[in-house]
A and B are shown apart, each in its own frame.
Chain A
Amino acid sequence: MAKIKTLAMLAAGVSCLALASGAASAGEVTWWSPNFNVERAEELKVKFEAANPDITLNIESTTTNGLPQRILTTLRSGSAPDLIDAQHPWVTGYAQNDLVLPLDDVIEDRDDYNKAAIDYVTYEGKLWGVPYRIEALAVLCNRGHFEEAGLDPENPPATWAEFLDAAQKLTHDGRSGFAITGGGEVGNTIFRSVPFIWENGGELVSADGKTAEVNGEKAVEAIKYWTDMYTEYGVSPASTLENDGTANRRLFIAEKVSCYQSGQFDIGSIQKENPAIDILPIMTPHPEGGNPSAILGGWSWVIPSSAKNPDDAKTLIKWLAQPENMGFYTDTFPARVSAMDLPRFDEPILKVFGEMLPYGRPLPNHPRWVQIAQAYFDGVQRILIGEQDVQASMDDAASDIQRLLDQ
């Protein structure tokens, strides 16, 4: 008798379970969140599920390395998750291929968003992602090295000439004053060198997207200033051509590099791995009489066209985009101006990064952008390996880019 009772209970239990899982799959949203955000995403999940009891969140962690390929594969496979965190510049590529859904009906209070971020994810008049994170690179320096070299950390170099002078003073005894990047993924060098072109009044391509201008006088002058750090003045480490942002951070932590270009996302790991370093963030140096510049970077939420549950994913984005949730979730700064008021963005070490934001510009928006960026990066590498001088290399890069623009 007892056996029959147990069996009956088991059967009831199983059918309940089946029912529960059936209900869950109806309102289930699968969300790909980068590994550095996952902990915060899990906290938000609890709150979101409490506010929306009929939707279950299923968070999957992604890693930055190889993420573009992974997202593209899942978008093309037709069995994508419902919500993906993607970097702003990737979004238009998805839009051009109809791989994501327009989100104009999701975004609320569009004027509250950073304009450059909105420009990034807009294609043919429609919005294809909701930006949640924005950042601009500045220069991180080692305050101790500054003092050793007799430089004044309270009055850091601001112009190109002052900065080069400081970098040369900081370079001694196997230590490099200012590390540029020359390796890794293309984006590393784009984000670090293109702002120098912009501050000097140059452009990669013309505003109408029809002409390559990377071999113009102003652009060449800026690229020469930036690459000379390695080729002419030797203030960038010997491994420059192998180094991306992460490699430069490692060299900074090992105190082999005194300054390098980075964002506030590096501060935590530097403080953790070498607490002895007193970090001194400074604005990106600019030409005499000019302004600093930066490429606006960051992340957006996108909904794949093949998402199984796009409606609930839209509900989730609306909820996540509330200023307090967005401000909590972002690793750097939030894309909404009103979320900047939160106390966590008030720290003194973040001041310079906040000051860089108004100088942030989106990258050119072109269907061939990835190849254009590659052509430019190849040109920078030709200079760094000594194959060509700056003008010759940028002439070649310009003809490569022009061919892509004409297609």
Chain B
Amino acid sequence: MPGRHTGLLFALPALFVLALLVAYPIVYTVILSVTDLGGSFNGTENFRNVLAARATPRAFQNTLWWVGGSIVFQVVLGTATAILLNRDFFGRSTVRAIAVIPWVVPGIVAATTWAWMFHTEFGIINYMLTGPGIIDEPVGWLTGRHTVMPAMIAINVWKLFPFVAIMVLAGLQSIPKDLYEAARMDGATFWDEVRYITLPQVRPVIVAVTLLLVIWALNHITTIYAITRGGPANLTLITPIQIFRLGFESFQFNEAAALSVMFFMVAMVIVALYIRFLASEGEIGR
């Protein structure tokens, strides 16, 4: 069978480059995580130092809130938007174009803009709420214990729900029209159609998109770092930002690497569980 080996031979240079690009950083990070500043092996010391820090469990808890909150609202809002945009109405293409704007805006621009909109003193949100007397005192959106994380999640939802909408919309358009016609003949309402035809048909798309969203949310830095840097008092500190702080603000590259390794493993477990859970439901490999 010359074909098989020839194919491998042709793919080899690309595989080699890929291995270098993917494997080298991972191996280097693992080496950093078990060595000290001078490069000598120090076992689990970096891991113990990182785990002993008060910020670590808090950051992990925040990360779960951040990922969970973002995903739920992104998927629900994105799917709802897709279903609406899939209906026939005047100006539909214009609305579709407008809906993707948040996704197209560069992350740092969006974050800075939102930071100003949420600002206690100069922000338009407090201005609009205090002007007509809806609230008496300006709200410290980015400084309140109970408002800052929801505000961050809201920005992330705003930023990424158009992506979900576009993907789901593409899925919706591949659903055969006769399914709906048949349902209507049987007297199905709009909600019946959504529940029994639309959602089951686009489920594979939603599943794949959710996996992407989980990975993106786990790796996210831009929005939170640009607005609060993880503060106040670590209320919005998520693990990726903690890693960034340790490495690039505190010069503790070895501890940053140790935290990266642990975070990488946790993320892998989350993703593996998700895939396995879906595989058991028969969603993947269909």
What is the interface of chain A, defined by CB distance below 8 A to chain B? 68-69, 72, 93, 96-97, 182-183, 185, 237-242, 251, 256, 368, 370-371, 374, 378-379, 381-382, 384-387, 396, 400, 403, 407
Known: A183-B232, A239-B140, A241-B232. A387 touches B145 (CB 8 A): yes
Tell me the interface secondary structure of chain A in the complex. Answer: helix
Of A238, A239, A256, the residue contacting B137 (CB under 8 A) is A238
CA of A320 to CA of B248 in the docked complex: distance in angstroms? 30
Contacts A/B (CB < 8 Å), 15 sampled: A182-B143, A182-B232, A241-B232, A242-B120, A242-B121, A242-B140, A368-B252, A371-B250, A374-B250, A378-B234, A381-B232, A385-B145, A386-B145, A387-B233, A400-B53
Least CB distance from A286 to B in Å reads 28
Chain A residues contacting B248 (CB-CB under 8 Å) are: 69, 72
Chain B residues contacting A370 (CB-CB under 8 Å) are: 249-251
Chain A residues contacting B231 (CB-CB under 8 Å) are: 183, 241, 378, 381
Least CB distance from A124 to B in Å reads 14
- Is B245 part of the contact surface with A, judged by Cβ < 8 Å? yes
User: For the side of the interface on B, what is the size category?
Assistant: 20 to 34
| A238 B145 Cβ-Cβ under 8 A | no
Known: A182-B232, A382-B233. A242 touches B251 (CB 8 A): no
CA of A237 to CA of B142 in the docked complex: distance in angstroms? 14
| A241 B140 Cβ-Cβ under 8 A | yes
- Is B54 part of the contact surface with A, judged by Cβ < 8 Å? yes
Q: Which 5 pairs between the two chains have the least Cβ-Cβ distance?
A: A241-B143, A381-B233, A239-B120, A239-B121, A381-B232
| B119 A407 Cβ-Cβ under 8 A | no
Chain B CB count within 10 A is highest, among A68, A97, A382, A385, for A385
Least CB distance from B48 to A in Å reads 10
- Which chain B residues (244-268) contact chain A, with CB distance < 8 Å? 245, 248-252
- Is B144 part of the contact surface with A, judged by Cβ < 8 Å? yes
Chain B residues contacting A256 (CB-CB under 8 Å) are: 121
Least CB distance from A171 to B in Å reads 15
Which residue of the partner chain B has the closest CB to A240?
B143
| A403 B52 Cβ-Cβ under 8 A | yes
Least CB distance from B142 to A in Å reads 6
CA of A379 to CA of B138 in the docked complex: distance in angstroms? 25
- Which chain B residues (87-132) contact chain A, with CB distance < 8 Å? 119-122
Chain B residues contacting A183 (CB-CB under 8 Å) are: 143, 231-232
| B49 A407 Cβ-Cβ under 8 A | yes
Known: A370-B251, A371-B252. A385 touches B235 (CB 8 A): yes
CA of A145 to CA of B142 in the docked complex: distance in angstroms? 30
Least CB distance from B58 to A in Å reads 10
Of A72, A238, A368, A384, the residue contacting B232 (CB under 8 A) is A384
